[in-house]
Structure 1
Amino acid sequence: MWTSREGFTADVCGWLIQKTLLSPWKTLPLLLLAQFTSHGREIAQQHPKLHYTLHGLASLAVIHRLNAWTNHKVLNNGVSDQYDWTRETVVLTGGSNGIGRHIALLLTKRGITVAILDIEPPTKETEDGDKIHYYECDITSPDAIASAATDIRSSLGTPTVLINNAGVCTGQTILSGTEAQTRRLFEVNTFSHYHIVREFLPALITANHGMVVTVSSQSGYTTAPNMVDYSASKAAAVAFHEGLAAELRTRYHAPRVRTVLVAQGFTRTGLIRNLTPEDTWFNPLLEPETVAEAVVDTVIKGRSGRVVVPGTSGWLACNIRSLPLWMQHWTRSRLERLMRAF
């Protein structure tokens, strides 16, 4: 990851730091040499500030690794599971275009069967994949989903992975948007998640195996003017993911059913065609392939978790509510210029 499609960005620097300064496999041996060898102690005495810095970096590296390990154990309920990707079937909403299209292509390249639910047929490139099956479906309609589910089960078997990816964005202020636009946006970005899991999740619970991927957005954490409805719908998707993960363990007793939350930044798709998001070193405008690869890499691992891209600005977005109120308000006000429709 020396470079990326987006060029040399803050994420590349962050990756280098994690592989060097925040790697316990690199800092701990140096610290042990400095403390338990005569030559190391001599250098530590001659350069005390360097020794203190090394001690701090080693401590941070260990804490960082322990935190990642704890997150993994807790989010996966302390149990492991095996996936045979030659036998798993993925249901993917909004898979005909944008990020969803690339997710479908990447999955099928690994030999995984994908059932696309979309109101538009996939592109010729996507449709040609022998593992991709398209089902015309309005995901805002539970009846349409039930009909498509019947066809999927009869032809492909019982799906085991659900990827709620479909999304729409209006780019309207609160007063300029219409009731119909707002309702449609929430039906696609939020309510469809409930419709999909109500149809397919019971089979996953019975088998105690499978995965639900919720594609939200960093906007679900950071509300921006000119797209309050979108931010609100994505915040609801974040809450849906969190509540589903807890219910799977406590109410449905299916600890092996995995949950993944995707919080991506703005991406070069038709979703933002009327907006003007920034494209900077710290917060680059993403290519859809970048997001799709991050999603598929996580799905293939068969573990619960969270996908945040870009990672650097995404970390700030996901933790913005821990900042002082004046900083939160200043950030949202600044976003108005970036999210202003043409």
Structure 2
Amino acid sequence: MPNRILPREGFTGDFVGSVLGKTVFSPVKTLLAVLLFQYAPPNAPYLPQKRDGVLNWLRIAFALGLVSRVNSWLGRRAINRGTSDKYDWPREVIVVSGGSNGIGKHLVLMLSERAKSKIAILDVIAPDYTLPAGVKYFKCDITSSEAIAAAAAEIRTAFGGDPTILINNAGIIYARPILENSDREIQKMFEVNTLAQYKLLREFLPSLIKRNHGTVITVASQGGNCTTPGMTAYCASKAASINLHEGLTSELVTRYNAPRVRTVLVTPAYAKTFVTRDMIPEDSFLSPLLEPETVAEAVVNQLLKGQSGYVGVSATANWFTFNLRSMPIWIQTSLRDRLDRTVQAPEKKHAWVSRDE
């Protein structure tokens, strides 16, 4: 992993939030600061003699940081069902749908380097990069149950066993208003973004349940939490995949008695991939235009923990979209209307779009 101070996207809300989380809202650091200001001699150098105001702010920061840490711990414990599991990464078999380019490409490359796992790429187009050792490409139309079954049989033969990690990453978008999307475009978005995930689960989930071991990662979108005008059908398909993830997470425990099968939901903001070819994606302090490596890195970091989780990238924008429905209606409406400006046809092809469909 490269050493860097700023993220790939530069100085953003995520960077500021990360710094604050590691300093001002770190309970350990703020507690030490409280003790220092409280008990240091009045004439201690480099410390103000009148400290009441600073102490009050430090106590507030400590309380907020502590509540946040406890809340995060409770969330992790709940979603992981109070159980742990071990992964032998070189022996795990990972399936990545849509792994030939974009975010999927970087998922494959990072997992190959960091986990040394066996990786199967499912895609209708061949990878646009040289495959590392242990990575194989299987041409597959993931909207077809028959094609998935055939590819799965090839994977089991090639890697000597059932996959243990399924990354539902493949996605497609036709960014147009409701009346401008054709029937075929709408159907294809739901086939790839939603129905294919069900079909892949039906093929690979039974072996995970049987072993009570493995991970399912659902790559959705912040559009699934917050519908953007001009791409309503796409957002609806991603909302459906979020619901799939939530239902799967509960059914693994309540219906299938497989609490160690992990589930991870990923909701990226706009990224520099083929998906954003038809729009001028937002690129701001709160919602930066993401490099595909940034999304892939966040997914890989979570997967290698061997824990269930929720990965929102960027975290700042994700906070707003995730909590949108708890906000007053006038705020919800204003935010959705504001997002309309991002779905405008670009005057020329974006530099990060290397192919046409």
In structure 2, distance between residues paired with 1:46 and 1:116:
63
Instruction: Tell me, in whole angstroms, the C-alpha distance in 2 between the residues paired with 1:289 and 1:257.
Output: 26
Kept in 2, the 8 Å contact 1:214–1:261? The answer is: yes
1:112 match: 117
Deviation at 1:207, TM superposition (A): 0.3
Listed as ranges, the matches of 1:123-142 within 5 Å are: 123-125=128-130, 127=131, 129-142=132-145
1:39 and 2:41 matched: yes
Q: What is the Cα deviation at residue 34 of structure 1? A: 4.1
**What SS class does the counterpart of residue 307 from structure 1 fall into?**
strand
1:107 & 1:8 partners in 2: Cα distance? 27
- Secondary structure, aligned partner of 1:46: coil
Q: Which amino acid aligns with 2:182?
A: T
Q: 2:152 matched to 1:143?
A: no
Query: Residues of 2 paired with 1:175 and 1:143: CA distance?
Result: 33
Contact kept? 1:98, 1:270, Cα under 8 Å: yes
Q: 1:137 to 1:41 in 2, by over 3 A?
A: farther
Please list, as runs of the form range in 1=range in 2, the aligned pairs for 1:160-179 lying within 5 A after superposition.
160-179=164-183
Counterpart Cα distance in 2 of 1:312 and 1:19 = 16
CA separation in 2, counterparts of 1:80 and 1:270? 37
The Cα shift of 1:190 comes to 0.4
Q: 1:11 aligns with which of 14, 19, 33?
A: 14
Q: How far apart are residue 2 of structure 1 and its match?
A: 2.8
Deviations 1:267-294 (A, max 9, x none): 0011111101121122110000111111
Q: What SS does structure 2 have at the residue aligned with 1:124?
A: coil
Tell me if structure 1 keeps the 8 A contact 2:37–2:51. Answer: no
Among residues 149, 152, 174, which one is paired with 2:155 in the alignment?
A: 152
Structure 1, unaligned runs of 5 or more? none
The separation in 2 between residues aligned to 1:269 and 1:158, in whole angstroms, is 30
1:121–1:326 distance in 2 versus 1, CA, 3 Å: same
Partners of 1:136 and 1:2 lie apart in 2 by: 39
Could you tell me which residue of structure 2 aligns to residue 180 of structure 1?
184
SS in 1 for 2:136: strand
| The structure with more helix, counted as a fraction of residues | 1
> Cα–Cα, structure 1 residues 311 and 41, in superposed 2: closer, same or farther, change >3 Å?
farther
State the 1:134 CA deviation.
0.6
- Aligned-partner Cα distance in 2 for 1:103–1:219: 21
Q: 1:338 aligns with which of 325, 335, 342?
A: 342
CA contact (8 A) 1:33 1:40 kept: no
Query: Structure 2 matches for 1:261-272, cutoff 5 A?
Result: 261-272=265-276
Q: Is the 8 A contact 1:2 1:12 kept in 2?
A: no
CA deviation map 1:146-179 (0-9, x unaligned): 1111111111121000000000000111111111
Q: 1:7 to 1:38 in 2, by over 3 A?
A: closer
| Matching residue's letter, 1:313 | A
Shift of the 124–278 alpha-carbon distance from structure 1 to 2, 3 Å rule, reads closer
TM-score (norm 1): 0.96
Structure 2 match to 1:304: 308
Amino acid at match of 2:123: D
For the 8 Å contact 1:22–1:60, the answer to whether it is kept is yes
| Change in 2 beyond 3 A, CA 1:41/1:263 | farther
Query: Structure 2 CA distance, aligned partners of 1:322 and 1:339?
Result: 25
Unaligned runs of 5+ in 2: 347-357
1:44 and 1:51 in contact (8 A); partners too: no
Change in CA separation of 1:324 and 1:41 when aligned onto 2, cut-off 3 Å: farther
> Residue type matched to 1:6 in 2?
E
Would you say how many aligned residue pairs link Structure 1 and Structure 2?
339
RMSD of equivalent CA atoms = 1.6
Amino acid at match of 1:21: V
* TM-score when normalising by structure 2: 0.92
- Structure 1 window deviating more from structure 2 (332-341 vs 141-150): it is 332-341
1:20 aligns with 2:19: no
What percent identity do the matched residue pairs reach? 47
List, as ranges, runs of 4+ consecutive aligned residues in structure 1 with deviation greater than 6 Å.
40-45
Residues in 2 aligned to 1:208 and 1:282: alpha-carbon distance in whole angstroms: 39
Cα shift at 1:45: 8.3
**Within 2, Cα distance between the matches of 1:165 and 1:306?**
15
What does the per-residue CA deviation read over 1:72-124, in whole Å, with 9 as the maximum and x for residues that have no partner? 11110000000000100001000001000010011111211110000001123
Q: What amino acid is aligned across from residue 15 of structure 1 in structure 2?
A: S
SS at match of 2:238: helix
Alpha-carbon distance in 2 for matches of 1:281, 1:314 = 13
